[in-house]
Amino acid sequence: MPSLQTGYAPNLGVFLKSLKTAPLESSIENLISLLKRRQIRNSRPCAIATAHLLLRVVAKFRWTDIGNLLQRIQEVGQRLVEAQPREMVVGNIVRRVLGMIRDEAKEDRTEDASDSTSTSQLGSPGRERSDSGDLRTEGGVSSFSPLRFATTDASNLSEASGDDIFQGRSPLTSRPPLLTSHTSYAVLNGVPVQQSMFNLLSATPTPSSTPPHSSPSHGKSKITATSLAQRIATSTRDLKAEVISGIEEIIDELDQVDDQIAAYAQEHIHSNEVVLTHSSSLSVQKFLLKAAEKRKFTVIIAESYPNDHEATHAAVIGKVSSNLESDEMSTETFLKPLSAAGITVILMTDATIFAIMSRVNKVILATHAVIASGGLIAAAGARIIAKAAKVHKTPVIVVSGVYKLSPEYPFEFESLIEYGDPGNIIGYGEGALVDHLEVDNPVYDYVPPDLVDLYITNLGAHAPSYLYRIVADHYKPEDINFHKPELQF
């Protein structure tokens, strides 16, 4: 009896394994289901799942026009965004792939244009004038075509034999004495030409001569339907390989982004400093551990109750439970506890943040998503920390990969806030109390840009006001509203 769990992907690891065997449409539906159920959540897992799915879409989709591929990517991306609008990295990855496809197609067209230009230049003989003033080609044979002078009659030719205003030289005397095989058609049409042995021999049309109202091929091969189809197929295969390679580079970037951010740690954390951080972000963990290689400092960690306090406690003591596989910190990528690296670690409750802020030298926060305006969506409690830091003139540093930077600018930031299980605050066993309360448990907070001093990404350190330039470099304007057809121009 076959298993009832066939094709079911309960987390990121199982989903990536199922991509190798499951049909494409089934894989798309699986990811949509996982996003809706929040079985794949947080920025990194959602970005990795989206990139691998789009890689499969490009590899399996058959297309001859780049517009069909863009439409297919937009269709899949729109379904993923609608499944979980608050996971903004899903739309970011789709936009990155769309922009990369447009760049590859533009580069491919540029190369084709340059190839055709060079071919035409090689096939067209250059013209030069001899010392006597005759127009000749580089091979010594004139490229003059009598078809240009088909309206010339015998009287005009006789008048041209005498002196005229061109200092005794007629305009037709610039014609070369020897004509090409194209002259034979002019003879047949009744146009008198200069008699010579070459004209007599070439009076009969030859297979190599060019028919009227047509231009010489200059060595170009004849284009047939078969050759055109072969050329399109070859170009499509080459472009598909480039697109797949580009998506693989995005996946590699997702794997290396934390190490690239950590490379800037020793420039911003100094000896004997007191650093306040929040929740259990892998990016922040690697950032602090990198600085601890050459610095001795103290880290104060707010526990981020009630949604992330268990993961924060596990990060402090160096143990990560298996049910956190889909979170920012996972068993496979977790390094070592901060205390083992020589860092003095202090775990504190969220209620004591304002009281301890006067002793803090800088605040380092992780982010769930970054808005183009410079604001960020972070774990609940980040806004309180940022406000307390502003009161005490303490700099706030945000570490974030570029893939979290979204070009969207929502008009209602409340729509970005996700609310979790209120049972984490008040258990349903307390029925008498629950009946008289309305409990909200926000999972994320919105932190405005005026509360942030510096962003550290895998591209370096940037002020919040500079993020719009990074958005312009990574996303195409026509792809920003790909999931909203009514807003596309």
Same CATH fold, 263-487 and 2-108+236-257? no
For the chain (length 489 residues), average pLDDT per consecutive 10?
Answer: 48 90 93 92 93 94 87 94 93 95 81 58 47 44 43 42 44 47 46 52 49 48 56 68 93 94 94 91 90 93 78 64 43 55 87 93 95 91 94 96 91 82 78 79 91 95 92 91 71
Q: Where are the domains of the chain?
A: 2-108+236-257, 263-487
Question: Tens digits of per-residue pLDDT, 194-212?
Answer: 555 555 555 555 444 445 4
At 196 the pLDDT is 52
Q: What's the pLDDT tens digit per position in 343-366?
A: 888 888 888 999 999 999 999 999
The pLDDT of residue 348 is: 87
pLDDT at 313: 62
Spatial strand order in the sheet of 454-457: 344-348, 298-302, 274-278, 362-365, 396-399, 454-457, 460-462
Domain 263-487 grouped into CATH 2.102.10.10: no
pLDDT at residue number 170 = 46
Question: What pLDDT, in 10s, does the model give residues 374-404?
Answer: 999 999 999 999 999 999 999 999 999 999 9
CATH code matching the domain that covers 2-108+236-257, chosen among 1.10.340.30, 3.40.50.2300, 3.90.1150.10, 1.20.120.420:
1.20.120.420
What contacts 24+ positions apart, CB below 8 Å, involve 472-480?
474/95, 474/96, 474/99, 474/402, 474/405, 475/92, 475/95, 475/96, 475/99, 475/407, 476/95, 476/98, 476/99, 476/102, 479/94, 479/95, 479/98, 479/99, 479/102, 480/95, 480/407, 480/408
